[in-house]
Amino acid sequence: MTANRRRGEVAAELDGKIYRLCLTLGALAELEDAFAVDDLGALVERFSRGRLSANDMIRIVGAGLRGAGNDITDEEVGTMRSADSVAGFAALVTDLLTTTFGAPGPETNPANP
């Protein structure tokens, strides 16, 4: 299964099966509700803190799976395994968020252009 990064898709192997994930507008709305934030800016701010719990990762991966058309609950995501264990899930979440929102731009430092 090939993921189209231009459309915001990423691929991941979970439980030995390749899945496509995508944070569509519907998936992002689901995450806004799950994290009790008012808008995408607040969602990005929450994710950019760099501190995500296991429950946060389950919600993000679940929303990405459902956004790509997979019929999977968060409870099922919580029992899935990645070849790289928790680090694999963390890398998947980072890849999915970066693909969706873009990589953070370089910080501007006037003393060091």
Q: How many CB atoms lie within 10 A of CB 29?
A: 13
Whether the model pTM is above 0.75: yes
CB atoms within 10 A of CB 15: 11
Q: Is 14 among the domain residues?
A: no
109 in a structural domain: no
Model confidence over 35-83: pLDDT tens digits?
Answer: 999 999 999 998 888 788 999 999 999 999 999 999 999 999 999 999 8
Q: What is the pLDDT of residues 94-106, one digit of tens each?
A: 999 999 988 665 5
| Residue whose entry in the numeric block shows the structure tokens 């898709």 | 9
The yes-or-no verdict on residue 112 having pLDDT over 70 is no
How large is the average pLDDT for residues 23-39?
95
Question: What's residue 104's pLDDT?
Answer: 60
**Whole-angstrom distance between the N-terminal and C-terminal Cα of the chain?**
42
Domain span at residue 69 reads: 20-100
Going by pLDDT thresholds of 50, 70 and 90, the confidence category of residue 109 is very low
Q: How far is CA 9 from the centre of its chain?
A: 10
- Residue 60 included in any domain: yes
State the Cα–Cα distance between residues 102 and 95, nearest whole angstrom. Answer: 10
CB atoms near residue 27 (< 10 Å): 22
Q: In sequence order, which residues have a C-beta less than 8 Å from that of residue 26 and are 6 or more positions away? A: 66, 67
- In this structure, is residue 5 part of a structural domain? no
Task: Report the number of distinct structural domains present in the chain.
Answer: 1
If pLDDT is split at 50, 70 and 90, which confidence band does 7 have?
Answer: confident
Whether residue 11 lies inside any domain: the answer is: no
Strand ranges, E, within the chain: 9-14, 17-22
Say if 8 falls within a structural domain: no
Assigned domain for 106 exists: no
Above 50 in pLDDT, residue 15?
yes
> Is it the case that residue 111 has pLDDT exceeding 60?
no
Position 110 pLDDT exceeds 60: no
Domain contains 6: no
